[in-house]
Structure 1
Amino acid sequence: MTIDDTPDTRPLRVCIVGASGKLGRYMIQHCLDRDYQVVAVCRPESVPKLDDVADRIEIIPGRTDDRAVIARAVAGCDGVLTVLAPWGVHDYSSGTTRAVLEYAEPDARLIFSCGWHITRDGLDRYSWQLRYIVPIVSTLARWARVVDVDDQVRAARLIFDSDTRWTVVRGSDLEEGESQGLPVWSRHVGDPILAGNLTRRIDFALFMVAALTNDTLVREAPAINGCATESARAYAGRPAQPAHSPCR
């Protein structure tokens, strides 16, 4: 028997879970720009939001926490990009996460999005706004049965405990606008490079897609910040910082 050492040049097949939202649509475009094959999962009522790319991707309508939907969508995919949306009070984020972790291919790269409020090791240093305001807003939102931020925390814990090839991308405050380039990142909120606390949404999506082929991010929970912020420009490249990405 001979070993075929011919490089695998086929395009990546990527599933985007939560594809119809702003972040999801940016991820679709970044993937298509790389000639990746895209499978998009979104709620049936949101399918029209993908009309502009419907002829270039495969769309699977359904709730992202529907195990049968996820099993079908991730089959054969090299990577899965998942937007952890804490909608409602019925474990939407953790249900989606369980399905992705269970049904994704064993060697698939699994990239999840969330906010800075998620902590992996408890060493993040938060501003007083995040320490006090977020819990209050989260409690009110849960009482209103609109959002359950704690479910996103539970989802993250499932990921951190998993032996899959995961990355949890923790985003700063977001703004719209043209791409500025790949965001910088650090392991802990509170590190000086993250002080700018502002990322273009299109660049959050860029970081997610770039993580698919960046093995240094496997089992990391990078907190990101826009590369054009003052703090990013001041601290990017210093030896004390982990891997970072300067603006184009």
Structure 2
Amino acid sequence: MKVCIIGASGKLGQYMVQHALDRGYEVVGVCREHSVEKLDRFNGRITVIPGATDDREVIKRAVAECDGVLTVLVPRGVHGYSTGTAQAVLDYARPGARLVFSCGWHISRDGQDVYSRKLKAIVNVFGPLARLARFADLDDQVEACRRIFASNTRWTVVRGSDLEEGESQGLPVWSRHVGDPVLDSNVTRRVDFALFMVAAIENDELV
């Protein structure tokens, strides 16, 4: 099994790299050039392709012949970073590859999610402020996921709860909708969220 991890140098990405290696996968990691050193501990065990994750040529090279692609969708800046990343993956991943994307809970596909007033307030306040500061654009993730949902690919979008560091507690429980009582804790260990992403590659129930 050959997998590509896009956003490999971040905290979540590094956990995904380790989980993939633990499963015996061949790993290709993509990260920005100035972050390559964060992957030094994996030297000799993974292939690192430096570049912006919305660079189509970088993604085309990285996902070639990969059976699975794990992508951290980051709404960085206000120039469609997440959308560019997602579109490149959709365009260049090989037919039949498993595509797994991570994003925030504000993404909804069918309108059946139930959001708390706190989460709604955070999105309504932080979203415009982040865009005004040109720091992030939550609508960019919305557009990226709209394209994923509309694609004819074997995709899974994993929406993250609040993440914390700590020892693994095992594979997290999941639900198709925000607001399900099983998700009441709203807290997941980052290492376990990464485990869920990697495990999704071979879980056809999540396609």
Query: Which TM class, normalised by the smaller chain length?
Result: over 0.9
The residue aligned with 1:241 is none
The residue aligned with 2:174 is 185
Structure 2 residue identity aligned to 1:169: V
The residue aligned with 1:75 is 64
Residue of 109, 112, 124 corresponding to 1:123: 112
Structure 1 residue identity aligned to 2:178: V
Map 1:78-117 to 2 at 5 A: 78-117=67-106
Separation in 1, partners of 2:120, 2:13: 28
Is 1:163 aligned to 2:132, yes or no? no
Unaligned runs of 5+ in 2: none
Q: Give the TM-score normalised by structure 1.
A: 0.83
Structure 2 residue identity aligned to 1:157: R
Separation in 1, partners of 2:96, 2:123: 36
What SS class does the counterpart of residue 60 from structure 1 fall into? strand
Structure 1 residue identity aligned to 2:17: I
Report the alpha carbon displacement of residue 133 of structure 1 after superposing the two structures with TM: 2.2
The structure whose RCO (Cα within 8 Å, separation 6+) is larger is: 2
Separation in 2, partners of 1:66, 1:84: 14
Report the alpha carbon displacement of residue 72 of structure 1 after superposing the two structures with TM: 0.2
The residue aligned with 1:140 is 129
Moved more, 22-31 or 124-133: 124-133
The residue aligned with 2:12 is 23
What SS class does the counterpart of residue 185 from structure 1 fall into? coil
Which ranges of 4 or more aligned residues in structure 1 deviate by more than 4 Å? Answer: none
How many residues get paired? 207
Structure 1 residue identity aligned to 2:168: S
For residues 187-211 of structure 1, the C-alpha deviation after alignment (integer angstroms, 9 at most, x for no partner) is: 1111110111000000000000000
Unaligned runs of 5+ in 1: 1-11, 219-248
Report the alpha carbon displacement of residue 54 of structure 1 after superposing the two structures with TM: 1.9
Structure 2 residue identity aligned to 1:146: F
Is 1:194 aligned to 2:188, yes or no? no
Separation in 2, partners of 1:49, 1:180: 25
Separation in 2, partners of 1:175, 1:132: 21
Select the structure that is richer in helix: 2
What SS class does the counterpart of residue 41 from structure 1 fall into? strand
For residues 82-141 of structure 1, the C-alpha deviation after alignment (integer angstroms, 9 at most, x for no partner) is: 000000011000000000000000010000001111111011000001112212111101
Moved more, 131-140 or 143-152: 131-140
Is 1:59 aligned to 2:48, yes or no? yes
Q: Give the TM-score normalised by structure 2.
A: 0.99
